[in-house]
Chain A
Amino acid sequence: MVLMIWAVCCFSQAAPLTFNRDIRPILSENCFACHGPDSNSREGKLRLDRGEQAVNDGVIVPGNAAGSKLMKRVASTDPEERMPPPKAHKTLSPAQRETLGRWIDEGANFEEHWAFIAPERPALPETKESRAWARNPIDHLIYAGLKKAGMKPNPEADRFTLARRVSLDAIGLPPAPELLAEYLGSESPEAYSRLVGKLLASRQAGEHRARYWLDAARYGDTHGMHLDNYREIWPYRDWVINAFNRNQPFDQFVVEQIAGDLLPQASLEQRIATGFSRCNVTTAEGGSIPEEVKVRYMVDRVETFGTVFLGLTMGCAVCHDHKYDPITMRDFYSLGAFFNNTTQPAMDGNRKDSPPVEVLPGEDFKAEWKQLQATRLGLRERLEKRKADPAGFWQTRQPPFAHPVSSEQLVLHLPLTSGGSVELPEEGQWETNHPAGHRGMRFGKKGTEVDLGAIRTDEPLTISFWIRSPNRLMNSTVMEHLTMLPDPKDPKKKRNAGWRIVSSVQGALTFSIEDGLGGKIDGLLPGDEALTPRAWQHVCIRYSGGQAKTSISILVNGKQGTPRPASEAFVEAVELLASKLKLGSNLPTGGLSDLRVFKRWLSDEEANLLAEEFFVIALLASDKTWADLSKAERQIAMRYVENVADEKRLRLRRRLADSERRVDFIASRSTTTLVMKEQPGTKPKAWILNRGEYDQRRDEVGADIPAVLPALDGKAPRNRLGLAQWLTSPGHPLTARVYVNRLWQSVFGTGLVKTAEDFGVMGEAPSHPELLDWLAVEFVESGWDVRHLLRLILTSATYRQSGHISEEKYRRDPENRLLARGPRLRLDAETLRDEALAVSGLLRGDVGGPSVKPYQPEGLWRVVAFAGSNTKDFKQDSGDALYRRSVYTFWKRTSPPPSMAAFDAPTREQCTVRRERTNTPLQALATMNDPQYVEAARHLAQRTMLTRESDRERALWMYEAVLIKPAAPADESEMLGAVKDFRKIFSFNEGEAQKLISIGESKADDDLAPAELAAWTMLANLLLNRDDFINKN
């Protein structure tokens, strides 16, 4: 078929051959794998995508095909000689050989690939005939193609069909009855374009347009790998919808998504937009190698960037220079460097808010949050400015040095060594083997108790101690500070109030706080990061006082553990009245030493100093001079000065630590969204990786653009902002072409370049190159106005043609590439569901908000999920959430919404710019039996029965509501016959009728007779399965 169109629209025997149109496709398919841009796999040093060398070596002799080695090799019958060689499994057809020969005879002119040359606005091929048909410039260009092929356009579609079609394309829903009536009632020649204008300006238009973009951005509501836990990034989804709704110029739309955070005085909205680069799948699988994982994220970002904006398949260049397109490994990793300079950790921690994130506080906290951020920024700046003088301090330091950190708010300090204040308990013993030769206490069976007064849940707390884990790690209580309170709900029962630290099997360490009112929060470090048996380790547990699970952090040997998933757990602000701290009550062979309890939040550096306590104190007490200190010792001295000795700094740090409580409190109660943030102080860079292996680094590269594309402006910043500005500079050969092609594809089903993801050499050449260029130039010159472009497309005569397919047109152009007819396509999954909700009257909801979970069969998540996943159990929403537009449906990537997946929705695990459009029995089962569709049918039946009286009126009304056109007589009698059949079935069996009309959460109208409602429900079910409901016509 492709070849046929080719022949029809492009060949004309008289015109000379051109490299891009006629020759490159042959060479790229058959020769470039070994004689293309990839220097490593290049055979015989011959390159055929560029001319110079082939000509110099006599492989091609311009003007003399017979004398060209190329022609001899491709024509040879000797398998040793013949090109392509047998192992390539490729053969040139006689016609292709002839074409090559003719091109050489005509002078063998090479050309740069079309997509790398900036588009220019072509002259319109206006003729008298085309003027008679055309409504705008698009049509002249389409008409020229039809004329060449000897085809005529279809007549305009009828107004009903057109209204439904344009509404589905503009807003993804059938037209609202009022809008439809207004259009049908108007005689004005402007009626249609007024309809288009109103549709494009409605808020549903942005929701519809965003859906395509979210496929490209690979947006999802879970991380996508391993646990596949919940991820919160829906504010990015809403940002996209709003951007389309305010018709934000596409260049700004792109710049903000790639580099919103780097814009001067970036607004919150602009920072949210950078969620685009955070939509990739991430992992926290135990055992993963962080460097490998980071490389994978970078690769995904480059591939996504290439596909979405450049229409180039960058992926090949991860391991080798691209075989077909002039993209080298250096190009790939240089592009990767732009995305590499991020503060994002490799492991997502299975948290919804893996950093960096933006916190979006609700109205209650907005002002305070802003104030807090400003205060903290100020404090940090002052800290930064204040230079420490470690050498000076060293000279003047005065003993004694009792504590490695300030003892402010230190409410308990127990060295737990012999001679201390705590007696050895029964069966206890002193432990040796402590790192510094100190001793610790081993508790025996019972443990011991010390006094410790009440603490408050809304105040900070830090607990620091050394622990020697038991020989066998098991469930052990390390310490607890608890009291029992009567349960407020059931006075006969008692509840714990206070905190405790336990170690579980395999050395996992948990710190928990209970408020005595049923609230409990805990922080956990898994075994591989926490306790090793029989070894002394330092543990520092911090609680900011933020009353949330996220307020707890645990450090082992001064190192912060991987944050655990933050579930929504909170405690009330109460005083915990325990008076005794129990130590080691279930830690028979384990020991503790040097326990400190602070009623303040210790900084990371302080926790570090505590872990190095013995070393720090010994160093301070030594008589070494500053000059004697090693580099490592100087660092410790510096840390001591900055965090302990310098009182002014200390005060600033204290204020910063104090604000932690409110930061945690607000952040844990707010929506968050994933964003990009640049690592301060380092430049974007990457390494070329041999074969793409993370551990085989070759050259280091800085951020740069692939060499084949226009260079980055010398003055442009070498970061994501520079990249984004480069991408949206007016002369860019790809950005506008690639996006207008996707707009075209969303309307006509196939892009002008069919391979919307690949504008490279191996992609398909455009069916209408001039039209593509015209649209691209128009788009840029209109100020990247998406709505303008859509309006042009939707008001063109090309678009307005009837979708009728004559046998001849089908035979000549089954894929409708020449557009001798209007688009007729199966609706996308989301549009189909939204349409059913809309025509039945169930559709609900405003723009935006957290994703929702409408109906889905039980057990789908559980059957694939990891036991510890927080998206293991699907909990269906209720009420309005069941009936919202599908763009708001919760997307679990390892088990996407089933009725959407059946209709070719992608999993959103990777960027998708072109969906398949299949036709399967599983789709039939879904629209017939999915409760969503059955409930919609019943709702529609209800509305019908309440609106009209007689069978005939009802049938006609329902038909029009569903299909947006009046019923033909044959359909009318079909419907009346069907209702009669169904009525007969249900009137004899009211029980069955009742079953059918009870499907779905909404209740059936009690005033309607069940058998009658069931009969009409079946008719609605029938209409909702009609081919012309499932299709755009």
Chain B
Amino acid sequence: MNPVDNWITLETRRQFFGRSAKGIGAAALASLVQRGKAAEGGALGGVHFPARAKRVIWLFMAGAPSQLDLFDHKPGMNDWFDKDLPESVRGGQRLTTMTASQSRFPIAPSMFKFGEHGECRKAVSELLPKTAQMVDDLAFVHTVNTDAINHDPAITFIQTGNQIPGKPSLGSWLSYGLGTMNRNLPDFVVLNCEPRGQALYSRLWGSGFLPSKHAGVAFRSQGDPVLYLSNPGGVNRDTRRLMLDRLRAMNERVYAEVGDPETHARIAQYEMAFRMQASVPELTDIRSESNSVRELYGPEVDTPGTFANNCLLARRMAERDVRFVQIFHRGWDHHSSLPNNIRRQTQEIDQPAWALVQDLKHRGMLDDTLVIWGGEFGRSIYSQGTLTKTNYGRDHHPRCYTIWMAGAGTRGGLSYGKTDEFGYNIVENPVHIRDLNATILDRLGLDHERLSLKHQGLDQRLTGVLPARVVSELQG
């Protein structure tokens, strides 16, 4: 073993044992399941129980898509056009201050046609023809609900389990707990689509109080995909190699003189950086994909920063064992002119999302890749602003909304949870954000109560202190 590899092994062991004394109780350790080729450097040193998912791709629809116009079909609402939402349904629940002062809450039935699809006969809106073709592979959850009513706190909540900024995100918990499965790429990658509508925040993929190496790396569609990846002008790969060889020799002498193991760690990280300088451009260069694959993802696949391009990149990352990829597609905050806006949005995402699932399936990767589609909350049945048969807006609705999952043992064709005839309240099987996060961790072989780190005197967890439930019904 060369000193660098030696260091990595040492470091892994050191982290494992170092943390075990503080972070993870002995009981948790005893029940860890060791699996074949384990990942390196995870604080847990293994999983709590056999994992169904090896990796996750989360298609995040930022701004909150309208579940009522896509998946949660409420045909009865056609008779309610422009009638007031009964007070008994609203139950005096709080509203955003954008509509709280509205004198009425007139119901806006979806103007879009829903058809029944697949063997499961799932109702899907005409806006998503491709998604409709794969409903037998998807599990829909209609009763996701959240605590927050505005974008910033809500998106922070779903990403980090807390509305207040500063907690680690799901992806960084995974990186921390499970370690890395590859030597050349980050564990957690974020792909941002073109800016539009509501803001994003780097805290959404931040590592909070976990070491920053667990933070998501936001790949960029402009300039270097990873910050400072390219050598400066005039410096090619050979020149960099020359410099690194000399640097390594010098640093070895520093080590010999001082004896700090961190020096070896640094040498290893410079080598990793050098490898990334090759592996990342190779990863983001989609020219090597066949025409048929590219066509699968649709015409925008070659344009960096589009959802289609990012979906294909996500598949390539999954192939290279990046643990967690999250694509942020923005512009779903349709307070007004919802029909026009949602047409554009769905057109952008429908085919690529479908293609991603097909592509993974075709490669046999859907078996151990969990794909999730959804936003930070839902939208209201009552209209905000102008209401006509073909034009309306919808306010935020945190009480219930729809997401879908696919792969890694997901029970295809399932529609889980029920909302009332207004799509306003949950009738059965609520799934809180905490439950959703607990369920995702469960797929990865992690017990959400045991993936914890002591910080500020508390065993901090993604799912927080309130009880959370793994929704095992979603699994086939």
Segment at the A interface, from B17-25, B114-122, B308-316, B367-375: B17-25
Q: How far is the CB of B464 from chain A (nearest CB, A)?
A: 10
Q: How far is the CB of A868 from chain B (nearest CB, A)?
A: 9
Q: Which residues of A contact B26 (CB under 8 A)?
A: 91, 93
Q: B403-417: which have CB < 8 Å to A?
A: none
Contact size range, A: 35 or more
Complex CA–CA separation, A1030 to B456 (angstroms): 29
A 856-874 binary contact with B (CB < 8 Å = 1; else 0): 0111101111110100000
Q: Which residues of B contact A974 (CB under 8 A)?
A: 246, 249-250
Our pick among A91, A757, A1026 for the contact of B254 (Cβ within 8 Å) is A1026
Contact A929 B231, beta carbon cutoff 8 Å: yes
Q: How far is the CB of A746 from chain B (nearest CB, A)?
A: 19
CB nearest neighbor in A for B305: A863
Q: How far is the CB of B317 from chain A (nearest CB, A)?
A: 16
Contact A919 B262, beta carbon cutoff 8 Å: yes
B141 interface contact, C-beta 8 A: no
Contact B197 A867, beta carbon cutoff 8 Å: yes
Q: Which residues of A contact B149 (CB under 8 A)?
A: 287, 289
Our pick among B211, B240, B251, B450 for the contact of A1026 (Cβ within 8 Å) is B251
Complex CA–CA separation, A970 to B252 (angstroms): 12
A300 interface contact, C-beta 8 A: yes
Segment at the A interface, from B265-273, B295-303, B318-326: B265-273
Q: Which residues of B contact A288 (CB under 8 A)?
A: 96-97, 150
Complex CA–CA separation, A757 to B166 (angstroms): 15
B389 interface contact, C-beta 8 A: no
Contact A857 B203, beta carbon cutoff 8 Å: no
Our pick among B101, B163, B192, B457 for the contact of A863 (Cβ within 8 Å) is B192
Contact A919 B150, beta carbon cutoff 8 Å: no
Contact B232 A285, beta carbon cutoff 8 Å: no
Contact A929 B164, beta carbon cutoff 8 Å: no
Q: Which residues of B contact A996 (CB under 8 A)?
A: 232-235
A1033 interface contact, C-beta 8 A: yes
Contact B258 A921, beta carbon cutoff 8 Å: no
Complex CA–CA separation, A805 to B246 (angstroms): 24
Residues A909 and B212 in contact in the complex (CB < 8 Å), given A2-B21, A758-B456, A805-B260: no
Q: Which residues of B contact A228 (CB under 8 A)?
A: 199, 201
How many chain B residues have a CB neighbour from A under 8 Å? 95
B 198-213 binary contact with A (CB < 8 Å = 1; else 0): 1111110010001111
Contact B260 A824, beta carbon cutoff 8 Å: yes
Our pick among B220, B260, B270, B457 for the contact of A325 (Cβ within 8 Å) is B457
Q: Which residues of B contact A968 (CB under 8 A)?
A: 253
Complex CA–CA separation, A902 to B186 (angstroms): 13
Complex CA–CA separation, A319 to B211 (angstroms): 27
Complex CA–CA separation, A461 to B95 (angstroms): 38
Contact B199 A289, beta carbon cutoff 8 Å: no
Complex CA–CA separation, A999 to B170 (angstroms): 38
A 478-504 binary contact with B (CB < 8 Å = 1; else 0): 000000000000000000000000000
CB nearest neighbor in A for B456: A313
Our pick among A90, A805, A904, A1026 for the contact of B27 (Cβ within 8 Å) is A90
Residues A757 and B217 in contact in the complex (CB < 8 Å), given A528-B98, A923-B269, A929-B231: no
B458 interface contact, C-beta 8 A: yes
Residues A924 and B270 in contact in the complex (CB < 8 Å), given A506-B336, A758-B456: yes
Q: Which residues of A contact B458 (CB under 8 A)?
A: 313, 316, 323, 762
B195 interface contact, C-beta 8 A: yes
Contact B246 A1022, beta carbon cutoff 8 Å: yes
A 913-929 binary contact with B (CB < 8 Å = 1; else 0): 00010111111111011
B151 interface contact, C-beta 8 A: yes
Contact A922 B152, beta carbon cutoff 8 Å: no
Our pick among A319, A929, A1018 for the contact of B228 (Cβ within 8 Å) is A929
Contact A985 B233, beta carbon cutoff 8 Å: no
Our pick among A1, A918, A920, A931 for the contact of B232 (Cβ within 8 Å) is A931
Q: A202-243: which have CB < 8 Å to B?
A: 224-228
A978 interface contact, C-beta 8 A: yes
Residues A970 and B253 in contact in the complex (CB < 8 Å), given A288-B150, A826-B262, A924-B273: yes
Contact B242 A982, beta carbon cutoff 8 Å: yes
A1028 interface contact, C-beta 8 A: yes
A286 interface contact, C-beta 8 A: yes
Q: How far is the CB of A810 from chain B (nearest CB, A)?
A: 7
B288 interface contact, C-beta 8 A: no
CB nearest neighbor in A for B220: A859
Contact B223 A910, beta carbon cutoff 8 Å: no
Q: How far is the CB of A903 from chain B (nearest CB, A)?
A: 8
Which one of B232, B276, B454 has the highest number of Cβ atoms from chain A below 10 Å of its Cβ? B232
Q: Which residues of B contact A924 (CB under 8 A)?
A: 266, 269-270, 272-273
A324 interface contact, C-beta 8 A: yes
Q: How far is the CB of A297 from chain B (nearest CB, A)?
A: 11
CB nearest neighbor in B for A505: B336
A281 interface contact, C-beta 8 A: yes
Our pick among A1, A89, A290 for the contact of B18 (Cβ within 8 Å) is A1
CB nearest neighbor in B for A999: B232
Contact A824 B258, beta carbon cutoff 8 Å: yes
B 315-351 binary contact with A (CB < 8 Å = 1; else 0): 0000000000000000000001000000000000000
Q: Which residues of A contact B272 (CB under 8 A)?
A: 921, 924
A896 interface contact, C-beta 8 A: yes
Complex CA–CA separation, A130 to B223 (angstroms): 59
B229 interface contact, C-beta 8 A: yes
Contact A1026 B231, beta carbon cutoff 8 Å: no
Q: How far is the CB of A780 from chain B (nearest CB, A)?
A: 26
Segment at the B interface, from A63-71, A568-576, A725-733, A987-995: A987-995
Which one of A307, A916, A994 has the highest number of Cβ atoms from chain B below 10 Å of its Cβ? A916
A384 interface contact, C-beta 8 A: no
Residues A866 and B198 in contact in the complex (CB < 8 Å), given A226-B152, A859-B220: yes
Contact B152 A1018, beta carbon cutoff 8 Å: no
Q: Which residues of B contact A998 (CB under 8 A)?
A: 233
Q: How far is the CB of B51 from chain A (nearest CB, A)?
A: 19
Contact A894 B223, beta carbon cutoff 8 Å: no
Contact B231 A928, beta carbon cutoff 8 Å: yes
A270 interface contact, C-beta 8 A: no
Residues A695 and B94 in contact in the complex (CB < 8 Å), given A506-B385, A907-B202: yes
B247 interface contact, C-beta 8 A: yes
Q: Which residues of B contact A860 (CB under 8 A)?
A: 220
B 421-444 binary contact with A (CB < 8 Å = 1; else 0): 000000000000000000000000
Which one of A228, A313, A763, A1027 has the highest number of Cβ atoms from chain B below 10 Å of its Cβ? A1027
Q: Which residues of B contact A981 (CB under 8 A)?
A: 242, 246
Contact B254 A1027, beta carbon cutoff 8 Å: yes
Our pick among A528, A864, A1018 for the contact of B243 (Cβ within 8 Å) is A1018
Our pick among B21, B233, B262, B454 for the contact of A995 (Cβ within 8 Å) is B233
Which one of B259, B450, B457 has the highest number of Cβ atoms from chain A below 10 Å of its Cβ? B457
A153 interface contact, C-beta 8 A: no
Q: Which residues of B contact A803 (CB under 8 A)?
A: 258, 260
Contact A864 B228, beta carbon cutoff 8 Å: no
Complex CA–CA separation, A593 to B97 (angstroms): 29
CB nearest neighbor in A for B238: A985
Q: Which residues of A contact B235 (CB under 8 A)?
A: 992, 996, 1018
Q: How far is the CB of B30 from chain A (nearest CB, A)?
A: 9
A 308-320 binary contact with B (CB < 8 Å = 1; else 0): 0000010110010
Complex CA–CA separation, A919 to B271 (angstroms): 12
Residues A929 and B97 in contact in the complex (CB < 8 Å), given A3-B21, A285-B150, A920-B269: no
* 5 A-B pairs whose Cβ atoms sit less than 8 Å apart in the complex: A300-B164, A907-B203, A918-B213, A919-B213, A921-B272
Q: Give 6 A-B pairs besides A867-B196, A924-B273 with Cβ atoms closer than 8 angstroms.
A: A287-B97, A289-B94, A805-B258, A910-B165, A981-B242, A1027-B251
Give the interface of B toward A (CB within 8 A): 14, 18, 21-22, 25-28, 94, 96-99, 101, 149-152, 163-166, 192, 195-203, 206, 210-213, 217-218, 220, 222-224, 226-236, 238-240, 242-243, 246-247, 249-251, 253-255, 257-263, 265-267, 269-270, 272-273, 276-277, 336, 385-386, 395-396, 449-450, 454, 456-458, 465
